[in-house]
Amino acid sequence: MIYLDNSATTKPYKEALESYLTVSSEYFGNPSSIHSLGSDAEKLLQRSRDTIADLLNVAHNEIIFTSGGTESNNLAIRGCAIAKKNIGKHLITTAIEHPSVIQSFSNLEQEGFHVTVLPVDREGRVSVSDVESVLTQETTLVSIMHVNNETGVIQPVEEIAKMLTNYPNIDFHVDHIQGVGKVPLNLENIDFCSFSAHKFHGLKGNGLLVVKSDARLYPILNGGEQEWKLRAGTENVAGIVAMTKALRMTLEAAESHRNEWNSLKSYCMTKLAEMEGVHINTPKVHTAPHIINFSVPGIKSEVLVHALGSKKIYLSTTSACSSRRKAPSKTLTAMGAPSSIADSSIRLSMSHRTTMDEIEMFLTELKSAIITIKDVTR
């Protein structure tokens, strides 16, 4: 098996799985319970919170545990918009965000908020001036992803965050889900930042939202006082401990992994560029080291993905949250790509387990699949 769909989900670290099993079997108490089993679980929870806060260089009370990236994005966007609606109801995002962001803004728009969706250039980026040009006295929130989940394009979020410090009524949310361990991010001046455990070799169903202490947030889940009264619900302590382990392991090895990915990506993009009929969509600069997006015009992406899957080589089309819908890539469309490119896009995404031999095998099978499919469809 050659797994090249790590932007959809990653294989959990063995150590993370072991942590999950240990906590599930030996520290299964509810951390809100007052007996010793509950107290032991609460200590593990707080130790995880402190560890993650240290890893991210934020305060421990700025960590809110969630069920994953979708909830983190929804909590940041909806929670901020509602908390600050008396100040203003103008919100800003971009055309290339994850569905959990786009749909959150769409729902808020139906509730009377005004949303500005910024276009991107042909490289898939917005600029600081793009953002500043649409700010108004009513603006309360800007939400921009760090690394695009389809193309790997990196947005200048640190520069945007610095610019927004001149506008104290505006909070800034960054979806850092695809960037963790791949592209470094300084959280200074970022008010809300979303993370998802299964993107960095933790387990599905766990995530976190960094909420700076001076940011305002209205809870979207009610029924308890967990997570600083901002996210009700019994905490998944075993998953949180496993996420903490995975985040520490990911960040400790991040630099060496980035060097490996850059080498594999450079080689793969060179070979793809030499392959007849292949169009590379990921720009050469301002992109994450682990993602390559390409198209084979004339061949539907799902056909090619299934052909490679029959060889046990696994890639994806667009975002995993929307890849089952047969629609053109919204990101490539926003970048100005023609329908022939947007309809046939494929995403390759690597992990630290990806090897040069696997990339070579993928390239060989891709070339063979393209020839076979074109011969059949002539």
HSE of 162, CA atoms in CB hemisphere, 13 A: 8
Tell me how far apart the alpha carbons of residues 20 and 22 are, in angstroms, rounded to a whole number. Answer: 6
Catalytic residue among 80, 193, 268, 321: 321
Tokens of 370: 């393209």
- Which uninterrupted H or E stretch holds 225? none
User: CB atoms < 10 A from the CB of 188, how many?
Assistant: 12
Tell me how far apart the alpha carbons of residues 336 and 199 are, in angstroms, rounded to a whole number. Answer: 28
Based on its alpha-carbon atoms, the radius of gyration of the chain, rounded to whole angstroms, reads 21
Specify the residue for token string 């799985």.
17
Which one-letter amino acid corresponds to residue 315?
Answer: L
Q: Could you give the 3-state DSSP secondary structure of residue 129? A: helix
Tell me how far apart the alpha carbons of residues 374 and 378 are, in angstroms, rounded to a whole number. Answer: 6
Identify any residues that bridge with 94 across adjacent strands, giving them in sequence order: 118
Specify the residue for token string 């150590």.
15
Tokens of 367: 């070339």
Tell me how far apart the alpha carbons of residues 264 and 12 are, in angstroms, rounded to a whole number. Answer: 22
DSSP 8-state assignment for residue 115: E
Tokens of 346: 């494929």
193 is an active site residue? no
Catalytic residues: 321
